C-alpha cells in the first residue's frame, strides 16, 4: 500500500517541490483548502481530505481535519492492535504530516481587527502536528520548509525523527504563547496587566563567541516575533558583534531615540549622539549635525568614550565619519550610513562594527530581568517629558536655556544606572555620576568629571534628594538649576538650601531608578 502524506500549509514556500518529490516516490497526497488548490494547479494528483473523511469542510473551514480518519491514521501504533481497529473502520495510515499554521502573529502584526485575529487561531493544524509528533517513530512531521528535503531521503534515523518531533512541539508551543499573549493583552477582565503565567518564546538571533567573559557561553535571542532595532540591525561593516556589544548598543540606541523624539517635538531637527560604556552613557550631545553631535559627545568625556559604543539619530555622512577616525570605538549604530562614509570605515576602521538600525516592531512592553531561579518582570519605563507635570518649587525659576538643559539632562539620567546624577549645558553632558551606592557620591563624581564646565550647568537626578548635601555641592561647583523627582521627607530643607544659594529647582514627581 502506498504511503500517504497529508499536506496543509499556510506558508506555501517549497511545498510544490516537496509534493512533487513525494509523488515521484509513489506517495499518495492528501490536502485541504488553499494547499489542495496550489498542488492541483501545479498538475499534481491530490486527494482532498473530504474524500478521506466523507464529510465536507464545515463552518467556513473551521472544521475539516478533526476526524478519526485523519487522527486515527496519524496516531495508530504500527504493528499493534491499533492497525486492526483502523482496518475495521476502513481507514488507512498517514505516514507524513506537513503542516504550518494560520498566520496568527502576522495578522496581529498588521493591526487586523480582533475578529480577523481570532479567526486566524488554527485548531486542526496544531492537533495534526501534535498527533504526528507523538507518533514520530512512524510518522514524519514537518513544520519548517527548511526540513522538506529530509522527506525525500530514503530513510531517517530515529534521532532525526525525534529532533523533528521536538521542533514540531516547539512550533505549536510558540504559536500558543503568541495567542496567549494577545488575549492577555486585550482582555478587559484581567485583574492586572502582568499575567499570572508568562511564557518567554525565545529564538536564537545571533551567535556570539562568548558572553560577558570568555569563560561564559553566550548567544542573543529574539523574543517571539519582535523586531528589535539592534537585534534586527544590519551589520554593514566590521567584525561580528559580541555579547557586550549588543547590550551596549541597545542601551545607546534607546537613549538616542528618546532624545531624538524630544528634538522632533521641539522642531529643531537637531542630531543626537550618545556614547555608552558598560551600559551607561558617558557622553551625550544634541547639535545641528551628526558631526557636531559626535564631537560634543566625544569631548564630554574623551577618556571614557575610548572603546565605547556610539548611537546617532541621523544618517552618518563623510564629514561625521572623518571626525570619528581618531577615536577607537567598538560599535556605531545609525539609521543609515552614506556610501562614502561606509567606504571610509571599511578601509580606515576595519574593526569598527557599523550597524544600520532596524525599525522596531512588536516589541513587548515588559522588561524581564533574570534572577536565580526566576525573573523579575515590570513594564518598561517609557515615560517621556511630555507625560510629566514639572513644578518649580523655588523662588528662582529656570531660564529658557536652563529649561532646555534640564529636559535634556532628565532624558539622559533616565537611562543611567542608579544612583545617577547628570550635569548638562547647552545640549551636552558635561559631567556624569552613575552606578553609585550613594547619591552624594554620584553627584561628587559628576562634578569632578565636569570641572569648570559645571559653571552655569543644569543638574538632574533620577531619584529624590534625602539631604541638602547635593544642592550645596552643586552650588559650590557653579550649577544654576536642579531637577529631581521630589517626595523626600526633607524636601523643605532641600528647597530652602536652593533659595539660600540662589538656585532654581524643579520637581518632576516621577522617579526613574535603573538598576
Give yes or no for residue 67 having a pLDDT over 80. no
Higher pLDDT, 300 or 175: 300
Tell me the per-residue pLDDT of 134-190, one tens digit each, with 9 for 90 and over.
989 888 899 999 888 888 887 888 899 999 999 999 889 888 888 887 887 744 333
Residue 301 domain flag: yes
SS3 sequence of 46-91: CEEHHHHHCCCCEHHHCECCCCHHHHHHHHCCCCCHHHHHHHHCCC
The stretch 376-392 carries a mean pLDDT of: 90
pTM of the predicted protein model? 0.79
Q: Are residues 352 and 411 in the same domain?
A: no
Among 447, 448, 453, CA closest to 471:
447
pLDDT of residue 65: 66
Backbone dihedral angles phi then psi of residue 262, each to the nearest 5 degrees: -65, -45
Mean residue pLDDT across the chain: 89
What domain range is 114 assigned to? 4-186
pLDDT score of 186:
43
- In this structure, is residue 204 part of a structural domain? no
Q: What is the pLDDT of residues 492-510, one digit of tens each?
A: 999 999 999 999 999 999 9
The residue written with cell numbers 516592531 in the block is: 361
pLDDT at 361: 82
pLDDT at 383 over 50: yes
In a domain, 502, yes or no: yes
Cα angle: 16, vertex 133, 92; to 5 degrees: 70
Of the chain, the percentage scoring pLDDT greater than 90 comes to: 56
Q: Is a pLDDT exceeding 60 seen at residue 87?
A: yes
Q: Which residues contact 390 (CB under 8 A, 6 or more apart)?
A: 483, 506, 507, 508
Percent of the chain with pLDDT over 70: 95
pLDDT interval class at 343 (50, 70, 90): very high
In a domain, 40, yes or no: yes
Q: Does pLDDT of 411 surpass 80?
A: yes
254 and 163 within one domain: no
363 within some domain: no
- Within this chain, do residues 290 and 181 fall inside the same structural domain, yes or no? no
Check whether residue 395 and residue 304 sit in a common domain: no
329 burial via Cβ count (<10 Å: 0-12, 13-18, 19+): buried
CB of 291 closer than 8 Å to CB of 320: yes
**For the chain, how many structural domains are there in total?**
3
Same domain for 52 and 11: yes
Query: 356, 375, 404 — which closes off a domain?
Result: 356
126, 26: one domain: yes
> In this structure, what CATH number is given to the domain that contains residue 175?
3.40.50.1380
Whether residues 179 and 233 share a domain: the answer is no
Same domain, 343 and 394: no
Q: Flag whether 218 is in a domain.
A: no
Residue-level pLDDT at 191? 38
Instruction: Pick the range with the lowest mean pLDDT from 111-115, 159-163, 406-410, 412-416.
Output: 111-115
Rounded CA gap, 202 and 216, in Å?
A: 19
Whether residue 58 sits in one domain with residue 150: yes
Q: Say which residue the cell 525525500 belongs to.
A: 152
* Domain presence at residue 28: yes
Q: What is the pLDDT of residues 112-139, one digit of tens each?
A: 888 888 888 888 888 889 899 998 988 8
Are 126 and 72 contained in the same domain? yes
Cα separation of 360 and 501, whole Å? 46
Q: Which grid cell is 341?
A: 562614509
Q: Which residues are catalytic?
A: 134, 278
Q: Could you tell me if residue 163 is inside a domain?
A: yes
> CA dist 169 to 77, 133, 165, 166, 404, Å?
19, 7, 6, 5, 54
Q: Rounded distance, CA 430 to CA 450, Å?
A: 5
Tell me the three-class secondary structure of 410-479, residue by residue.
HHHHHCCCCCCEEEEECCEEEEEECCCCCHHHHHHHHHHHHHHHHCCCEEEECCCCCCCHHHHHHHHHCC
Last residue of a domain, one of 154, 186, 218: 186
What is the full DSSP assignment across 339-353?
HHHHHHHHHH-TT-E
Using CA atoms, how far residue 440 sits from 348, 358, 416, 453, 506, in Å, is: 43, 39, 16, 19, 19
Task: Mark whether 179 and 138 lie in a shared domain.
Answer: yes
**Domain of 494: which CATH number?**
3.40.140.20
Asked which of 83-92, 208-217, 284-293, 473-482 is least confident by mean pLDDT, the reply is 83-92
Is residue 107 very low, low, confident or very high in pLDDT (cuts 50, 70, 90)?
confident
331 and 408, same domain (yes or no): no
Asked if residue 351 has pLDDT above 70, the reply is yes
Amino acid at each position: 500500500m502506498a504511503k500517504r502524506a497529508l499536506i496543509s500549509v499556510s506558508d506555501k514556500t517549497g511545498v510544490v517541490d516537496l509534493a512533487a518529490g513525494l509523488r515521484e516516490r509513489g506517495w499518495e497526497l492528501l490536502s485541504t483548502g488553499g494547499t489542495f488548490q496550489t498542488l492541483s494547479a501545479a498538475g499534481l494528483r491530490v486527494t482532498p481530505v473530504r474524500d478521506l473523511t466523507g464529510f465536507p469542510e464545515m463552518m467556513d473551514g473551521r472544521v475539516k481535519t478533526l476526524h478519526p480518519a485523519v487522527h486515527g491514521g496519524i496516531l495508530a501504533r504500527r504493528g499493534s492492535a491499533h492497525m486492526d481497529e483502523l482496518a475495521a473502520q476502513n481507514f488507512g495510515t498517514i505516514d507524513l504530516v506537513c503542516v504550518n499554521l494560520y498566520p496568527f502573529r502576522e495578522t496581529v502584526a498588521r493591526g487586523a481587527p480582533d475578529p480577523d485575529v481570532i479567526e486566524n487561531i488554527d485548531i486542526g493544524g496544531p492537533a495534526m502536528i501534535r498527533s504526528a509528533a507523538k507518533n514520530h517513530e512512524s510518522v514524519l512531521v514537518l513544520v519548517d520548509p527548511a526540513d522538506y528535503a529530509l522527506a525525500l531521503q530514503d530513510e531517517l534515523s530515529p534521532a532525526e525523527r525525534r529532533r523533528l518531533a521536538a521542533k514540531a512541539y516547539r512550533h505549536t508551543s510558540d504559536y500558543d504563547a503568541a495567542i496567549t499573549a494577545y488575549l492577555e493583552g486585550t482582555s478587559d477582565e484581567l485583574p492586572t496587566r502582568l499575567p499570572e503565567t508568562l511564557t518567554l518564546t525565545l529564538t536564537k538571533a545571533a551567535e556570539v563567541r562568548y558572553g560577558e567573559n570568555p569563560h561564559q557561553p553566550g548567544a542573543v535571542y529574539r523574543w517571539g516575533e519582535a523586531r528589535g532595532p539592534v537585534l534586527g540591525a544590519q551589520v554593514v561593516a566590521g567584525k561580528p558583534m559580541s555579547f557586550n556589544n549588543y547590550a551596549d548598543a541597545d542601551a545607546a540606541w534607546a537613549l538616542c531615540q528618546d532624545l531624538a523624539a524630544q528634538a522632533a517635538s521641539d522642531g529643531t531637527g537637531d542630531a543626537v549622539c550618545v556614547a555608552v560604556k558598560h551600559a551607561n552613557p558617558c557622553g551625550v550631545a544634541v547639535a545641528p549635525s551628526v558631526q557636531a553631535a559626535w564631537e560634543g559627545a566625544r569631548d564630554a568625556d574623551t577618556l571614557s568614550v575610548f572603546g565605547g559604543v556610539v548611537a546617532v539619530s541621523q544618517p552618518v555622512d563623510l564629514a561625521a565619519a572623518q571626525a570619528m577616525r581618531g577615536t577607537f570605538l567598538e560599535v556605531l549604530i545609525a539609521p543609515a550610513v552614506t556610501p562614502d562614509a561606509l567606504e571610509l570605515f571599511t578601509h580606515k576602521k576595519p574593526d569598527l562594527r557599523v550597524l544600520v538600525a532596524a525599525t522596531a516592531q512588536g516589541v513587548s512592553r515588559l522588561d524581564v530581568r533574570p534572577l536565580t531561579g526566576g525573573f523579575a518582570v515590570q513594564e518598561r519605563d517609557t515615560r517621556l517629558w511630555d507625560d510629566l507635570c514639572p513644578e518649580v518649587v523655588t523662588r528662582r525659576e529656570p531660564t529658557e536655556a536652563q529649561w532646555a538643559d534640564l529636559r535634556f539632562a532628565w532624558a539622559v539620567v533616565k537611562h543611567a544606572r542608579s544612583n545617577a546624577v547628570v550635569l548638562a549645558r547647552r545640549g551636552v553632558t558635561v559631567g556624569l555620576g552613575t552606578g553609585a551606592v550613594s547619591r552624594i557620591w554620584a553627584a561628587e563624581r559628576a562634578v569632578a568629571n565636569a570641572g569648570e564646565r559645571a559653571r552655569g550647568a543644569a543638574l538632574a537626578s533620577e531619584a529624590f534628594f534625602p539631604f541638602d548635601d547635593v544642592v550645596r555641592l552643586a552650588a559650590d561647583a557653579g550649577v544654576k538649576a536642579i531637577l529631581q523627582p521630589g517626595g523626600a521627607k526633607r524636601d523643605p530643607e532641600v528647597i530652602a538650601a536652593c533659595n539660600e544659594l540662589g538656585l532654581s529647582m524643579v520637581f518632576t514627581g516621577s522617579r526613574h531608578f535603573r538598576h
